[in-house]
Structure 1
Amino acid sequence: MLLEEKVMEGLELICFQIISNVGGARSCFINAIQEAKEGRFDEAEKMMDEGDQLFLEGHHAHAKLIQQEAGGEKIDFALLLLHAEDQLMSAEGFKILAAEFIDVYKRLK
C-alpha cells in the first residue's frame, strides 16, 4: 500500500469517527429537547450528558487532525472531511439550542 493510500485510509477513519460520534450527539440533543417538552427534565439532562460525551469524542478526533497538520503532516482536502466538520458544527448548534429549549420548558412548567 502506498503511503498516500495509508494516509487517506487514516483520514477516512478519523472522519468516520467524527461523523458517527457527533451524529450520535446531535440525536441525543434532539431527544433531550423532546424529553424536556414532556416535562422529563432528569431524562433531558441525561440525554445532554450523553450527547456531551459523544460530542467530546468527535471533537477529540477532529483535534487529532489539527495536531497532525500543525506538526507538519499535510492533510489533503477531502469531501468526507468537509462533511465531518459540517456535522461537528451542526451538532454544536443543536447542543446550544437544546440547552436553551430545556431552559424554556423548565420556565413554562
Structure 2
Amino acid sequence: MNKEEVQLTSFQIVGHAGDAFAHYYEAVNRAREGLFEEADRELQEGEACLIEAHNAQTQMLSEEARGEELPFSLMLVHGQDHLMTTIMFGRMAQELIEVYKELRAK
C-alpha cells in the first residue's frame, strides 16, 4: 500500500466510524423518548457501519501482517482514534438503552 492508499483507507475508517457513531447517538435519543424499536434499529445500523470500518482496518492489518510496510499517516491515527471511540460509545449506548428500558418498565 502506498501513502495515498493508506490515506484513502483511513478516510473510509473515519467515514464509517462517524456514521456508526451518529447511529449510536440517535439510538440513545430514541431510547430516551421510549422508542425502543427505533433505538434497536439505530443500533443495528450502527453495527453495520462499524463492520465496514473494521473491514477497512482489517485490509491494512492483513497487508502489514504479510510483511508489507505501510507508510505512516496521521490520517490513519485519526481513523483509529475515531474507530476506538465509536466502539466504546456503541457499548455505552447499549448500556444506556438498557437503563432507559428499565426506567420505563418501573
Tell me the TM-score normalised to structure 1 length: 0.93
- Please give the residue correspondences for 1:38-53 in structure 2 after superposition, counting only pairs within 5 Å: 38-53=33-48
Please point out which of 81, 87, 90 is paired with 2:85. 90
Higher RCO (C-alpha 8 Å, min separation 6): 2
Segments ≥4 residues shifted beyond 3 Å:
none
Identity within the alignment, %: 37
Counterpart amino acid of 1:44?
A
Please list every run of 5 or more consecutive structure 1 residues that lacks an aligned counterpart in the other structure: 1-5
Q: Distance in 2 between matches of 1:31 and 1:97?
A: 13
**Aligned residue pair count:** 104
Question: 1:12 Cα deviation (Å)?
Answer: 1.0
Cα RMSD over matched residues? 0.9
Question: 1:25 Cα deviation (Å)?
Answer: 0.1
Please list every run of 5 or more consecutive structure 2 residues that lacks an aligned counterpart in the other structure: none
Question: 1:20 Cα deviation (Å)?
Answer: 0.3
Tell me the TM-score normalised to structure 2 length: 0.96
